[in-house]
Chain A
Amino acid sequence: MFRKIFPLFLIGLLVGISGVAAEEISIRVSGWVSSPVESEIMQTLVDLYNSQFAPPGVEAVYEPIPADYTTKIQTMLAARKAPDVFYWDIFMAEPLMRKGALLPLDDLMAAAGVDPAEFVDTCIGAFTYAGKIYGIPKDFNTLALFYNKKIFDLAGVPYPTADWTWEDLLAAAKAIQAKADEIRKAVPNFQAALCMAPDVARWLPFVFQNGGSFFNADRTAVVINSPEAVKALEFYTGFELVHGVAVRPSEIGAGWQGEAFGKENAAMVMEGGWMVPFLRDNFPDVEFGAVELPAGPAGKGNLLFTVAYVIPAYEKHPAEAFDVLRFLTSPLAQMYVLSRGFALPTRKALEGFIADPISRTIFAGAAYARPWEFGPLGSKPIDELAAAMEAVFLGKKTAQEALDDAAKVLNERLQEVLSG
């Protein structure tokens, strides 16, 4: 009897002692909050970790940051008050990685048996710098061509398909626009076949589809004023300026392309997987489909948006923080997020569980998408190129002039960063 109980007693004693002896470690987990669903999902995951997986003496705490996320985290990093595990967006990854502000995860991953090959290559590649991995992507998105089935039916135009080209897109847009008056009888809000914003994140795929790129091959110069990119901007703005088949969201009082699509102002928009929950919650009556972006002269092109969990370089409890990070990117956590219809898993093994056709379209885009990032330039190109696009839309500059000006500013900035 005693022999049976004694080991249990000993274990109990040890656990008790360690519980008393070890200080309580709390691991702060932060992210932005795109919608109430996101904070609810995060809280559920953190609660699950604490109740089922947390080692004794460790507690994860969810501390969402509601606004000015990038600014807040960077100042917190400077003040050494950053959360132990936090979201970090792909386009701000390199500035932090090259400054050594993030903790390299390779050793921790190896110790915990997490193989980088389990994750979608482009996603984990975007958080790799100088051969080291600094973040494990939690989910990702690409762009797709969303179309309003009702408007296509009214115009008598067949639905878009995955093998569309630029010419097919333009021809369909013209065919729809030609029937605008008839469409308006049934869909009074209808404005144009397409809604296209002066947004770099929508135009850049056209650059890729035309064989252009943001950086040169060794990433030492910005080549966004290449003939391929200029042609892509002319084509992108031409839908509105030349052919009159597109409107900008600001012209029709919509905050973004998705809203214009939801209000049925436009028959087609290029947006990401976030459209699905957005339309379901706000415009449940709109019948829509989505296909891969049309191919350009140089073939298919897309952008990959992703967010990783990262740990600050000066983390005091790296093992404990990584344990939380590992749980948040585990198949279990990603399956839960997927089941809530919120985001696509970055684990290759979970691809088979993506059932929704639109999610599958978004996933397919990842095969050829390039990451949404500008290396050490961070967010600067986003503002600079948006201003360039706006100038073209407003007729203040030609595509060539606008991109020459932007490239000049961005190249100066790049030299400054690379030399420093």
Chain B
Amino acid sequence: MRLGGTGTRGAGPPAPLVWFRRSRTREVLAAYVLIAPHMLALSVFTFFAMGFAFYLGFHRYDLLSPPVFIGMRNFAKIFTDPDFHIALRNTLYYTAVVVPVQTVLALFYAVLLNRPVRFRAFFRAAFYAPSVTASIVISLVFIWLYAKQGIFNYLLSKLGLPATVDWLGNPATALPAIMMMNIWSTAPTFMVVFLAALQDIPDSLLEAAAIDGANAWQRFTRVTLPLLRPSIFFVVVMGTIGCLQVFDQIYIMTRGGPLKSTMTINYLIYSEAFENFRMGYAAALSLILFVLILLLTVIQKRYIDVEVQY
């Protein structure tokens, strides 16, 4: 039994216990002092904001007059609000496409760059570049790429295809266009997660499988993939949360249009809060989004996050 740093080697028998108590208090105190600045910021800007959003969800509040308690009226209104239905459908559609595609793409990148290819460091950096670029910058650049006389249409015309698609102006293509952009820019972030996980897989397991006669595909699906399960869970959960909260690209590129085809829940929250000044309604919407995220995460935990045994 060892207590504290010098305890057992000390002279008197009761001394270590007292010292322990003191050092323990001091340690705890030090810990609190060290995390205090962050806790303070977190309390004010996150916990307080969350609590206030919960409070506002049951009130009518327009910033200028004091909040009025209206019970569940905001929530009742949400379920009959055609804009909410559109936003929910768009958000789920967006998530259902982006999460699987970006997860598979990230895994593909990672497997590719885990091999001893030439200029591997360069490729890793190049692939990762979109992830460290501000989404606002990417959005602004893609507005030009997606323009009617932009590069994508130029490339289409080079392939002899009709090149008059108004990518962001057509309700059929606007959301898919934003999806493609986000898959391209987010996949590399998750590639890094997979790369780290791939390097954690012991070579001995793969070698043993090879000796047992497993071919490369079997080694990947039967050994590598199951061992990646915790990372896949992480990537899917983080990807889902990110997708359900997609906002900045839409704010910059389409503002929810055309014909509300890119209206997502987060954009609806913004527009109700800061364009229509229905703070209570927007807070209620954000609580619904919170429940939706919680629900999906629990489901994913149930089906993907199974303990891995080596």
A residues with CB within 8 A of B: 68, 70-71, 74-75, 77-78, 95-96, 99-101, 250-253, 378-380, 383, 386-387, 390-391, 394, 396, 409, 420
A377 to chain B, nearest CB (A): 9
Please state if B259 and A78 are interface contacts (CB–CB under 8 Å).
no
Please state if B63 and A390 are interface contacts (CB–CB under 8 Å).
no
Chain A residues whose C-beta falls within 8 Å of the C-beta of B171 in the assembled complex: 390, 394, 396
B residues with CB within 8 A of A: 60, 62-65, 68, 82, 147-149, 166, 169, 171, 257-260, 271, 274-277
Chain B residues whose C-beta falls within 8 Å of the C-beta of A99 in the assembled complex: 62, 64-65
Please state if A101 and B275 are interface contacts (CB–CB under 8 Å).
no
Chain A residues whose C-beta falls within 8 Å of the C-beta of B257 in the assembled complex: 386-387, 390
B65: nearest residue on chain A (CB-CB)?
A99
Can you report 28 residue pairs joining A to B where beta carbons are below 8 Å apart? Answer: A68-B274, A74-B63, A75-B63, A77-B63, A78-B63, A78-B64, A99-B64, A250-B166, A250-B169, A251-B166, A252-B148, A253-B147, A253-B148, A378-B276, A379-B275, A383-B271, A383-B275, A387-B257, A387-B260, A390-B171, A390-B258, A390-B259, A391-B259, A394-B258, A394-B259, A396-B171, A396-B259, A420-B68
Q: Please, how many angstroms separate the alpha-carbon atoms of A406 and B188 in the complex? A: 42
What 5 A-B pairs are tightest by C-beta distance, nearest first? A78-B63, A250-B169, A99-B64, A71-B274, A253-B148
Please state if B275 and A71 are interface contacts (CB–CB under 8 Å).
yes
Knowing A99-B64, A250-B169, the reply to whether A74 touches B277 (Cβ < 8 A) is: yes
Please state if A409 and B259 are interface contacts (CB–CB under 8 Å).
no
Contact of B64 among A70, A71, A74, A396 (CB under 8 A): A74
Knowing A387-B259, A390-B259, A396-B259, the reply to whether A101 touches B64 (Cβ < 8 A) is: yes
Q: Please, how many angstroms separate the alpha-carbon atoms of A387 and B148 in the complex? A: 21
B62: nearest residue on chain A (CB-CB)?
A99
Please state if A95 and B277 are interface contacts (CB–CB under 8 Å).
yes
B255: nearest residue on chain A (CB-CB)?
A383
Chain A residues whose C-beta falls within 8 Å of the C-beta of B260 in the assembled complex: 387
Chain B residues whose C-beta falls within 8 Å of the C-beta of A253 in the assembled complex: 147-149
Q: Please, how many angstroms separate the alpha-carbon atoms of A394 and B62 in the complex? A: 35
Please state if B60 and A409 are interface contacts (CB–CB under 8 Å).
no
Chain A residues whose C-beta falls within 8 Å of the C-beta of B148 in the assembled complex: 250-253
Q: Please, how many angstroms separate the alpha-carbon atoms of A68 and B252 in the complex? A: 12
Chain B residues whose C-beta falls within 8 Å of the C-beta of A396 in the assembled complex: 171, 259
A390: nearest residue on chain B (CB-CB)?
B259
Interface of B is mostly: loop
Knowing A251-B166, A253-B149, A396-B259, the reply to whether A77 touches B64 (Cβ < 8 A) is: yes
The CB with the most chain B CB atoms within 10 A, among A70, A251, A380, A383, is that of A383
A405: nearest residue on chain B (CB-CB)?
B82
Q: Please, how many angstroms separate the alpha-carbon atoms of A134 and B149 in the complex? A: 47
Please state if A96 and B169 are interface contacts (CB–CB under 8 Å).
no
A397: nearest residue on chain B (CB-CB)?
B259
B150: nearest residue on chain A (CB-CB)?
A253
Q: Please, how many angstroms separate the alpha-carbon atoms of A391 and B257 in the complex? A: 11
B63: nearest residue on chain A (CB-CB)?
A78
Chain A residues whose C-beta falls within 8 Å of the C-beta of B271 in the assembled complex: 383
Q: Please, how many angstroms separate the alpha-carbon atoms of A101 and B276 in the complex? A: 16
B5 to chain A, nearest CB (A): 52
Chain B residues whose C-beta falls within 8 Å of the C-beta of A96 in the assembled complex: 64
Chain B residues whose C-beta falls within 8 Å of the C-beta of A380 in the assembled complex: 276
Chain A residues whose C-beta falls within 8 Å of the C-beta of B64 in the assembled complex: 74, 77-78, 96, 99-101
Given A250-B166, A394-B259, 7 other A-B contacts at CB below 8 A?
A77-B64, A99-B64, A378-B276, A380-B276, A387-B260, A390-B257, A396-B259
B260: nearest residue on chain A (CB-CB)?
A387
The CB with the most chain A CB atoms within 10 A, among B148, B257, B258, B259, is that of B259
B67 to chain A, nearest CB (A): 11
Chain A residues whose C-beta falls within 8 Å of the C-beta of B166 in the assembled complex: 250-251
B247 to chain A, nearest CB (A): 15
Q: Please, how many angstroms separate the alpha-carbon atoms of A387 and B260 in the complex? A: 7
A72: nearest residue on chain B (CB-CB)?
B274
A411 to chain B, nearest CB (A): 13
A252: nearest residue on chain B (CB-CB)?
B148
Q: Please, how many angstroms separate the alpha-carbon atoms of A151 and B49 in the complex? A: 59
Please state if B82 and A409 are interface contacts (CB–CB under 8 Å).
yes
Q: Please, how many angstroms separate the alpha-carbon atoms of A96 and B260 in the complex? A: 27
A72 to chain B, nearest CB (A): 9
Q: Please, how many angstroms separate the alpha-carbon atoms of A95 and B277 in the complex? A: 10
Chain A residues whose C-beta falls within 8 Å of the C-beta of B259 in the assembled complex: 387, 390-391, 394, 396
A378: nearest residue on chain B (CB-CB)?
B276
Q: Please, how many angstroms separate the alpha-carbon atoms of A387 and B83 in the complex? A: 12
Q: Please, how many angstroms separate the alpha-carbon atoms of A49 and B308 in the complex? A: 75
Q: Please, how many angstroms separate the alpha-carbon atoms of A409 and B260 in the complex? A: 14
B302 to chain A, nearest CB (A): 39
Chain B residues whose C-beta falls within 8 Å of the C-beta of A250 in the assembled complex: 148, 166, 169
Chain A residues whose C-beta falls within 8 Å of the C-beta of B63 in the assembled complex: 74-75, 77-78
B272 to chain A, nearest CB (A): 10
Chain A residues whose C-beta falls within 8 Å of the C-beta of B149 in the assembled complex: 253
Q: Please, how many angstroms separate the alpha-carbon atoms of A378 and B277 in the complex? A: 10
Chain B residues whose C-beta falls within 8 Å of the C-beta of A391 in the assembled complex: 259
Chain A residues whose C-beta falls within 8 Å of the C-beta of B275 in the assembled complex: 70-71, 379, 383
A73 to chain B, nearest CB (A): 11
B164: nearest residue on chain A (CB-CB)?
A251
A83 to chain B, nearest CB (A): 16
The CB with the most chain A CB atoms within 10 A, among B169, B258, B277, is that of B277
B285 to chain A, nearest CB (A): 15
Chain B residues whose C-beta falls within 8 Å of the C-beta of A100 in the assembled complex: 64-65
B28 to chain A, nearest CB (A): 38
Q: Please, how many angstroms separate the alpha-carbon atoms of A70 and B68 in the complex? A: 23
Chain A residues whose C-beta falls within 8 Å of the C-beta of B60 in the assembled complex: 420
